[in-house]
């Protein structure tokens, strides 16, 4: 705790406003026991305030905050999270999921005309039996990178046509299903011999189509900002999506469920927490009161008892709400879909949103050139730079124009 001493009335109130804009709770400022006119604030809040200069934070402070779920600093019109709801170009994603198909949401996100993912031609290969869907998709896309034209200078209509062919290629590669001109949720259901899941698949694909600027869309935008082909951006996005803290979270959720089935939900959760690991498929920084995408999906089917028990145990032990990764894992389990189905659903849907960000970045025509804040050993040179002369760690001048802000 840090004592904020007396100053001018305006300065003290400005500091108080900046330091404390939360509801009363454990993090609220405390009254100084020695002087009731003074307040004590958390040192981390004071340090944050110290980063402000004449009402504006330094570039380094903005970067650090953005990387740690801080301020959004990239202008995008694709999607956003506001009031704990997900919005696709101003339209509520949950509301759209009641009737829309992924193709219709693609048309909205891409600002294109009647996007359809038709049968893929020109060398597209279906998923080989036993091969992971991600491997199939990356191999298929890699055949395009060396020959596809750069995005720079291409008209948006041409880029949108190429984008539709790439998503069609990914669909063919990941599902191995029929490539006829059918909606993707129908093609996926037929590929899994599960026609009864068509509607829930449609809803899931719409709800997962995009989620603001997350790790995978950021990676894709960086790639395309260099002028690289659309296929290169999609490879970057899908590769990043595979991580266990992103699109691969449903795999960890399945591991937790298996453990719960062996030793009981309570013991499985306690063991997981004892490893100081965040519980997969629970909690989301943008949805402190619960993920609306998960709520919408879970209302459409009955989960197996082990999933319900896990949900209850986690709620009693941690108070954390489940997120959409839990819903997708529970859905795949309830409908007896393949083990790779949760990731396939996530990746297939997010290919659309990732491509929307790629198209938006290509239209901007600007390079994303972030630089690092150097925290290594002091520079060894005859004439010390100002930071070295002051005894500080040498810090490179940060020229970052765009920063990672929000995941998933």
Give the pLDDT confidence of 139-159 residue by residue, as tens digits: 999 999 999 999 998 999 999
* pLDDT for the residue numbered 231: 97
CATH class of residue range 260-334:
mainly alpha
Distance CA 76, CA 285 (A): 20
Q: Quote the longest CA-to-CA distance of the chain.
A: 78
The ranges of the chain annotated as CATH 1.10.230.10 are 260-334
Residue 357 has pLDDT above 50, yes or no: yes
CA separation for the pair 281, 52 (Å, rounded): 36
Q: In the chain, where does the domain assigned CATH 1.10.580.10 lie?
A: 92-247+338-364
The mean pLDDT of 173-201, rounded to a whole number, is 87
pLDDT at residue 395 greater than cutoff 90: no
- pLDDT: is 303 or 382 the higher one? 303
pLDDT at 249: 83
Q: Residue 56: CB partners within 8 Å, gap ≥ 6?
A: none
pLDDT category of residue 297 using cuts at 50, 70 and 90: very high
Instruction: State pLDDT tens for residues 201-253.
Output: 999 999 999 999 999 999 999 999 999 999 999 999 999 998 888 888 888 88
22 pLDDT band, cuts 50/70/90, is very low
Length of the chain: 408
Q: Does domain 92-247+338-364 have CATH number 3.50.50.60?
A: no
Distances (CA, A) of 241 to 45, 91, 285, 346, 404: 33, 24, 18, 9, 14
pLDDT for residue 181 is more than 50: yes
* Range in 20-24, 170-174, 280-284, 345-349 with the lowest mean pLDDT: 20-24
pLDDT band at 9 (very low <50, low <70, confident <90, very high): very low
Which sequence positions are flagged as catalytic?
284, 325
How far is Cα 94 from Cα 83, in angstroms, rounded to an integer?
A: 13
């Amino acid at each position: 705790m840090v004592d904020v001493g007396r100053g001018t009335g305006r300065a003290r109130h400005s500091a108080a406003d900046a330091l404390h804009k939360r509801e009363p709770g454990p993090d609220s400022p405390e009254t100084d026991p020695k002087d009731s006119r003074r307040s004590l604030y958390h040192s981390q809040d004071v340090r944050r305030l110290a980063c402000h200069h004449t009402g504006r934070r330094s570039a380094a402070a903005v970067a650090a905050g953005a990387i740690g779920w801080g301020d959004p600093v990239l202008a995008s019109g694709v999607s956003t999270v506001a009031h704990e709801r997900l919005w696709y170009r101003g339209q509520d994603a949950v509301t759209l999921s009641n009737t829309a198909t992924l193709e219709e949401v693609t048309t909205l996100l891409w600002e294109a005309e009647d996007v359809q993912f038709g049968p893929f031609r020109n060398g597209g290969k279906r998923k080989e039996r036993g091969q992971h869907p991600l491997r199939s998709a990356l191999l298929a896309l890699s055949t395009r990178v060396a020959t596809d034209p750069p995005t720079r200078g291409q008209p948006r209509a041409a880029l949108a046509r190429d984008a539709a062919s790439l998503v069609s290629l990914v669909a063919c590669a990941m599902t191995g299903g029929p490539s006829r001109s059918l909606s993707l949720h129908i093609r996926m259901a037929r590929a899994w011999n599960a026609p009864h899941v068509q509607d829930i698949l449609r809803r899931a694909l719409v709800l997962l189509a995009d989620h603001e600027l997350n790790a995978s869309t950021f990676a894709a935008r960086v790639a395309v900002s260099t002028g690289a082909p659309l296929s290169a951006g999609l490879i970057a996005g899908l590769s990043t999506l595979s991580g266990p803290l992103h699109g691969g979270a449903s795999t960890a959720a399945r591991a937790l469920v298996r453990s719960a089935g062996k030793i009981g939900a309570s013991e499985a959760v306690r063991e997981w927490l004892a490893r100081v690991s965040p519980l997969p498929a629970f909690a989301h920084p943008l949805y402190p009161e619960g993920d609306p995408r998960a709520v919408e999906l879970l209302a459409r089917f009955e989960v197996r008892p082990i999933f319900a028990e896990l949900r209850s145990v986690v709620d009693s032990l941690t108070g954390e709400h489940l997120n959409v990764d839990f819903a997708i894992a529970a859905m795949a389990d309830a409908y007896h879909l393949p083990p790779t189905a949760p990731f396939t659903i996530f990746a297939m849907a997010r290919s659309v949103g990732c491509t929307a960000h790629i198209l938006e970045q290509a239209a901007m025509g600007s390079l994303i050139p972030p630089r690092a804040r150097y925290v290594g050993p002091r520079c060894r040179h005859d004439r010390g730079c100002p930071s070295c002369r002051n005894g500080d760690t040498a810090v490179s001048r940060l020229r970052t124009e765009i920063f990672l802000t929000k995941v998933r």
